[in-house]
Amino acid sequence: MTDVNQQKRDHLSQLIAESKLGGGEKRIEKQHSQGKYTARERVEKLLDPGSFLEFDKFVQHRCASFGMMETRYLGDGVITGIGTINGQKVAIFSQDFTCWGGALGKAYAAKICKIMDFAIENKVPVIGINDSGGARIQEGVESLAGYADIFHRNVQASGVIPQISLVMGPCAGGAVYSPAMTDFIFMVDKSSYMFVTGPDVVKTVTHEEVTKDELGGAHTHNEKSGVAHFLCEDEDDCLERVRELLSFLPRGNFQKIRKNASVDSSIRKNNKLENFVPTNSKKPYDMKELIIEIVDEKHFLEVQKDFAKNIICGFGKFNGFNVGIIANQPQVLAGCLDIDASSKAARFVRFCDAFEIPILTLVDVPGFLPGTDQEYGGIIRHGAKLLYAYSEATVPMITLITRKAYGGAYDVMASKHIGADINLAYPTGEIAVMGADGAVNIIFRKELKGLQGAEFDKKKAELVENYEEEFANPYRAAGLGYIDEVIFPEDTRHRICHYLEFLKDKVVLRPERKHGNIPL
């Protein structure tokens, strides 16, 4: 090997080593002291060992203003590239807080856009790890343009490839809108923050005293705003849960419904469910227990579990088929649909439909939550989102009514009338316009008028009992073909697996249009 060649090799090795140092040893130590990994460590821990291929590691900014040329880092503060997670191809970028606090400039944004374009063109999921103080002020409008270029790509990628955001530090100002347009957001307790305006601005404008954690911490966005989807204990937990989520997702919208190997028998009986649903319609039960009992290996990944708890959304497998599950939760607000639950479920349905993931809907819903707060907040509009999402979906849809299905909520929760392929019910199913008590008050108000005391109670109890015998069951709907079959609860898993096998090649053609106008 010639001396010149060796010198070139040494120079490359030196540049690679320099690029790996980011903002330098002191800043790396500070990152570690805060319980945080560096941008590069996060990538290496998330991806399969040895699979990462980095792009643009020698890119540097070209800003000459405010003495910026005196400080230039190889990679310009963001790491980008491709690799695999559990063998699945992904594209990734990771913001480096050790370089100017992760602030975004023109070259930095161009790197992210490049890897997003690569992901879209090659139909692989894109993962963004966010840890940045915001725009690089020294670069002015070029930083703002960089954000807009990223936002535009988020929209182009939506429904084409899965987009996953990890917020593992600050994410403020305009920077929040990129994660907000992705499919899933992970946040880490006590170290993740998202807000459009920080505590100081809030205090100046509204005179409210609020901490960063209260304003935009992981608990706030997982429990109150619904912006985030997963709350993680620490960074290791976050990275592991991203790997878990990806096991349920396809590479992109081009992949049709796939069946993976399963060690759990499709004909496994669910004996636990034989008398699981209470016959007393006012008695609550935990719908999550039912879900866990019927999915493969009892593995259920819940999405947004701390937000709008009256509805459950998440992923499970049935005989190897990845399935999105939406279910009313009788333990919270009796399973009523409200503003937050409707929006949460609607977005989840649309994600599943975009990526050819079959949908299972488990119904136990007494109706929409009443009250002025709900009406003034637009429950009509938000409830219509869920109705729209189900009606628009073309993936296989199976609906199971476990108990109550009352009023408009019966229609909205993937009824036969809005496109479900298979509609089932347990013998405990109650399908009616409303509950027996309310129905009797309306239908028989003349007969009850004037009655008092024991006479009133006796007459009403008799009327309620008669109404329940005639209407509080699934057989009238089954007789009309709105319910395809009334099944024994212990056969739930077997039936769902069997139907999925038949529905996997479903094709639905919709009228040509640019797009519908969902009631946002």
Residues tagged active-site? 173-174, 408-409
Task: Return the DSSP state at 332.
Answer: T
3-state secondary structure at position 310: coil
- Report the candidate in 105, 37, 39 with the shortest Cα–Cα distance to residue 71: 105
Q: Can you tell me the distance from the alpha carbon of 352 to that of 354, in angstroms, rounded to the nearest whole number?
A: 5
Q: Can you tell me the distance from the alpha carbon of 135 to that of 171, in angstroms, rounded to the nearest whole number?
A: 10
Q: Can you tell me the distance from the alpha carbon of 477 to that of 489, in angstroms, rounded to the nearest whole number?
A: 18
**What are the respective helix, strand and coil percentages of the chain, to the nearest 5?**
45, 20, 35
Whether 284 contacts 330, CB under 8 Å: yes
- Report the candidate in 119, 98, 108, 125 with the shortest Cα–Cα distance to residue 33: 98
Backbone angles phi, psi at 453, to 5 degrees: 60, -135
Q: Can you tell me the distance from the alpha carbon of 403 to that of 411, in angstroms, rounded to the nearest whole number?
A: 15
Whether 407 contacts 367, CB under 8 Å: yes
Q: Can you tell me the distance from the alpha carbon of 314 to that of 324, in angstroms, rounded to the nearest whole number?
A: 6
Q: Can you tell me the distance from the alpha carbon of 3 to that of 5, in angstroms, rounded to the nearest whole number?
A: 5
Strands 78-85 and 53-55: antiparallel
State the DSSP H helix or E strand holding residue 464, giving kind and residue range, or none if neither. helix 453-471
Backbone angles phi, psi at 84, to 5 degrees: -130, 155
Cα end-to-end distance, the chain, whole Å = 66
Who contacts 98 (Cβ-Cβ below 8 Å, separation ≥6)?
A: 22, 23, 24, 27, 28, 30, 31, 38, 39
